[in-house]
């Protein structure tokens, strides 16, 4: 398996043996592409999934510091919640090597109506049901490519 994120189309493809088996709508950063610390930008290049967090959590559960809170996020909440599942990324290139320490994830969100548009604070947001599906198909070490 591998993941390809295409920023211009705000899509994430799950690829198996060269074939796209799933295509999901996503939301990358509203601040654009980049790896600068504190920039809230989505990094580009090659990555791998370093950690999977949230196995068995209900759709919409809010995580704080990667710990489940037993609270569910709501669309009306203006905070950028990390919800449902977390796929934590490690950068594999010199330009994105700080990705893990920047806490860049693929995760569920309470802002599902913004999926399909750049709206995040650097992470790759997915709908809560889509991130569960993706989580169930990938393993730690799965390659990820973010294309600007």
Query: What would the two tokens of residue 59 be?
Result: 């759709």
Residue 114 has pLDDT above 90, yes or no: yes
For residue 25, the enclosing domain spans 2-147
- Whether the predicted pLDDT of 75 surpasses 90: no
Query: What is the model's pLDDT at position 100?
Result: 97
Distance of alpha carbon 16 from the chain centroid: 19
User: For 58-85, what is the mean pLDDT?
Assistant: 93
**Structural domain count, the chain:** 1
pLDDT tens digits, one per residue of 30-50 = 999 999 999 999 999 999 999
CATH of the domain at 50: 2.40.440.10
The pTM of the full predicted model, rounded to 2 decimals, is 0.96
**Would you call 128 helix, strand, or coil by DSSP?**
helix
pLDDT band at 77 (very low <50, low <70, confident <90, very high): confident
Residue 102 Ramachandran class (φ > 0 left, ψ -120 to 50 alpha, else beta): alpha
Assess contact for 10 and 125: CB atoms under 8 A: no
Q: Where are the beta strands (DSSP E) in the chain?
A: 2-6, 11-16, 19-25, 45-53, 61-64, 67-72, 82-91, 105-108, 124-126, 143-147
Who has greater pLDDT, 78 or 145?
A: 145
Average predicted confidence (pLDDT) for the chain:
97
Spatial contact of 7 and 24, defined as CB atoms under 8 Å apart: no
Does residue 59 have a pLDDT over 90? yes
- Hey, is 74 helix, strand or coil? coil
Q: Is 76 a residue whose pLDDT tops 90?
A: no
pLDDT value at 125 more than 90 = yes
> Which pLDDT band, with edges at 50, 70 and 90, does 66 fall under?
very high
pLDDT of 106 > 90? The answer is yes
């Amino acid at each position: 398996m591998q993941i390809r994120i295409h920023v211009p189309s705000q899509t994430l493809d799950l690829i198996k043996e060269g074939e796209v088996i799933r295509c999901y709508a996503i939301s990358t950063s509203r601040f654009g592409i980049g790896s600068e610390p504190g920039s809230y930008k989505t990094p580009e290049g090659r990555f791998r999934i370093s950690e999977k967090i949230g196995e068995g959590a209900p759709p919409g559960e809010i995580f704080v510091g990667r710990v489940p809170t037993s609270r569910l996020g709501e669309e009306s909440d203006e905070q950028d919640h990390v919800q449902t599942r977390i796929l934590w990324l490690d950068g594999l290139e010199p330009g994105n090597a700080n990705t893990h320490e920047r806490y860049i994830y693929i995760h569920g969100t309470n802002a599902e109506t913004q999926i399909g548009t750049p709206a995040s604070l650097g992470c790759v947001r997915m709908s809560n049901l889509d991130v569960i599906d993706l989580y169930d198909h990938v393993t730690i070490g799965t390659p990820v490519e973010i294309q600007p």
